Structure 1
Amino acid sequence: MRICLADDEPLARERMRKMLSLADGIEICGEAQNGEDMIALIREHEPDLVFIDIEMPKLDGFDVVEALAQTDFRTDPPLFIFATAFPGMAAQAFDTGAIDFLTKPIRPARLELALSRARQLLMSREAMTRLETLQSHLDELRETRSRSGLNTPSIWVSSSGQSIRVEPSQIEYVSAEAEYIRLHIGERSLLHRQSISAFEDEMADQGFVRVHRSFIVPARDCVQTSRTSWGGLQVHLRNGAVIPVGRKFKDKLSAILG
């Protein structure tokens, strides 16, 4: 299966490339960091499958699909899988021509499921119908994207000479390190020059709650609480992390968990 990747974040492309290298029968025939380059790549290579980030410079993922719907492909058009930092959009995946929506950070098991769907659809050659259906849903998708919080402030983190954009929905929890905070995102973490109190004030409207003087967590990912062997309270997150809860923050956590 021949695949093209599009994401404006080099680290995101690198992580996807590594995960795809573990799958059988995959050939990456091109990568792009913006929508214009992606259109040129797809027209040149005519891949079987396209992984494309919704938010990119110049042309976004929806614009790419719209442009390609006018293309006269020599064979069958590619299948599309959108990547997004906004989980609320994933529910609409199967109402559009895209075969799947992957929420960042993408998990290997979730990627394998998407690849399995792509293989099945390639065998049945439904790509042209799905591309036409996807084009007809673009206005609806753009409206959904707007409602899903794309006005949410992104966080730009400097790392190894690069500026990395982090969406609040990607952050699994935040820990304090002196005058810095560490943003924990999937299998990696990024050190960001900001106090934990400043982050708490800035992101209060984005569903983050402080549970300890050194920890902030997203309310959406709090699953349950438990006691340590010495009686201290801790909260369990959806990703498996266990975070200590300070005594002065117990009431906030209780309000979240009901």
Structure 2
Amino acid sequence: MIRVFVVDDEAPARDELKYLLEQMPDVSVVGMARNGREALELIPLAKPQVVFLDIQMPDLSGLAVARELLALMDEGDFPLLVFATAFDRHALEAFEVHALDYILKPFSAERLKNAMDHLRRTLAGRSPAQGPEAEKLDRILSLLEKPPRPKLAVEENERIILLNVDEIVYAWVEDRHVFVKTKDASYQTGYSLSELEERLGLLQTHKSYVVNRDQVREVIPWFNGTYNLVMADREKSQVPVSRTYVKSVRQALRL
């Protein structure tokens, strides 16, 4: 029997995964944990061969749990890890390269079957004393702990261009359309200013402007306690700071 342990902070997800796994005649679910701390207590005692480990948990992420388990468990007892993840395909490819696996929520019986087939083959070729390849696991964890840098889709001549966050100097609203400015060009985008603020971490300075705080080069005091921000684009554009946003801008720029 393949001894399996399930870690997920959501009870329905734990129960669903346990149910699907127990439909397989050669699988035994030997334990479940509701969070990362509980997982670190129970997994070394249960000594499962496989751990299904949720990445996003409120106390400790699945990635942090994996790192702690590397330090806690002997090499020969270290389980194979299957991450439940919402990471994009680029990051998921790294699991395949390093002989780990992943499943996406909501769980699919077919995907779970494929994952278990992969695990059976891996376990069959693993000697009793053989533990994880620690360097490989460390590399994959390091990769996944770096969140993917968001990109912004903009339009130019009926083409879609993807901009990195650090290319964007500021964005503004004009005639109900939102535009973003890089150092050398301007583009229209389908996002609202509030979406740019949330998605890219831009700073709102005015009802019609958000800026990349790393692209602010100069702060000019203006009328009635307001400011203009001189930006790092080629034109050295000046972006207004209205009275509504003076306090938050001062805090963000540490003025």
TM tier, shorter chain? 0.5 to 0.7
Structure 2 residue runs without a partner (length 5+): 152-191, 199-255
- 2:16 aligned residue: 15
* Gap change, CA 1:87 and 1:102, over 3 Å in 2: farther
TM-score by length of 1: 0.53
User: Does the 8 A contact of 1:87 with 1:103 survive in 2?
Assistant: no
User: Does the 8 A contact of 1:85 with 1:105 survive in 2?
Assistant: no
**CA deviation after TM superposition for structure 1 residue 71, in Å:** 2.5
TM-score by length of 2: 0.54
Q: Secondary structure at the match of 2:72?
A: coil
User: Residue by residue, what CA displacement relative to the aligned partner does 1:192-220 show, whole Å, maximum 9, x if unpaired?
Assistant: xxxxxxxxx9x9889xxxxxxxxxxxxxx
- 1:26 aligned residue: 27
Query: Residue 15 of structure 1 aligns to which amino acid in structure 2?
Result: E
Could you tell me which of 91, 94, 98 is aligned with 2:96? 94
**CA deviation after TM superposition for structure 1 residue 122, in Å:** 1.1
Query: Residue 105 of structure 1 aligns to which amino acid in structure 2?
Result: P
**CA deviation after TM superposition for structure 1 residue 92, in Å:** 2.2
Query: Residue 93 of structure 1 aligns to which amino acid in structure 2?
Result: F
* Gap change, CA 1:15 and 1:87, over 3 Å in 2: farther
Q: Secondary structure at the match of 1:16?
A: helix
Q: For this pair of structures, how many residues does the alignment match?
A: 155
Larger radius of gyration: 2
- 2:237 aligned residue: none
Q: Secondary structure at the match of 2:84?
A: strand
User: Residue by residue, what CA displacement relative to the aligned partner does 1:106-134 show, whole Å, maximum 9, x if unpaired?
Assistant: 21011011001111111111762334411
Question: Which consecutive segments of 4 or more residues in structure 1 shift more than 4 A?
Answer: 203-206
Q: 5 Å matches for 1:195-206? A: none
User: Does the 8 A contact of 1:65 with 1:135 survive in 2?
Assistant: no
* Gap change, CA 1:9 and 1:140, over 3 Å in 2: same
How far apart, in 1, do the equivalents of 2:144 and 2:87 lie?
12
How far apart, in 2, do the equivalents of 1:31 and 1:142 lie?
24
Percent same amino acid at aligned positions? 30
Query: Residue 30 of structure 1 aligns to which amino acid in structure 2?
Result: G
Query: Residue 40 of structure 2 aligns to which amino acid in structure 1?
Result: I
Across the aligned residues of Structure 1 and Structure 2, the Cα RMSD in angstroms comes to 3.0
Query: Residue 141 of structure 1 aligns to which amino acid in structure 2?
Result: L
**CA deviation after TM superposition for structure 1 residue 83, in Å:** 0.5
